[in-house]
Amino acid sequence: MASRAFRLQMQGYGLTTANIFYRLPDHPNIIQSYIWQEYDLHPLFPELKKFLDFWARSLDGPLHGVTVAHAQLIRPAEMRLINGEFSLH
C-alpha cells in the first residue's frame, strides 16, 4: 500500500510550506509566526485556503501576512530509466 503522501504527489499535489504571520491577541503590536506544511495543489492552494479560513474564523490572533513556498517533489521528467551504473571509489 502506497503512503498518503505518495498518492497525493501522483495526483499532482506538491509540498507547500506557509509562514503565517499573526498578531498576538493581547499584544497586537507583536507579530509572531507559525509554520504550516501540507501537500497542496499549485496555484490555487485549496488546503491552505481551508486552513486560513479556519484560522480567521476560529482563532483570536488576527492574520498579518502569509509567505508561501511550493515544491512539486515528483515530476515526470525526474523519472527515467538508467542504462548503466558507474561507481567511483
> What are 5-36's pLDDT values in tens digits?
888 988 889 999 999 999 999 999 999 999 99
Looking up cell 506557509, which residue turns up?
Answer: 18
pTM of the predicted protein model: 0.77
**Does 89 fall in a domain?**
no
**Does 37 fall in a domain?**
yes
**Does 27 fall in a domain?**
yes
**Does 47 fall in a domain?**
yes
Print burial letters for 2-18: b (CB count within 10 Å at least 16), e (below 16).
eeeeeebbeeebbbbeb
SS3 call for 86:
coil
Q: What is the pLDDT of residues 29-83, one digit of tens each?
A: 999 999 999 999 999 999 999 999 999 999 999 999 999 999 877 655 555 556 7
**Does 82 fall in a domain?**
no
pLDDT band at 84 (very low <50, low <70, confident <90, very high): low
Residue 47 domain boundaries: 16-76
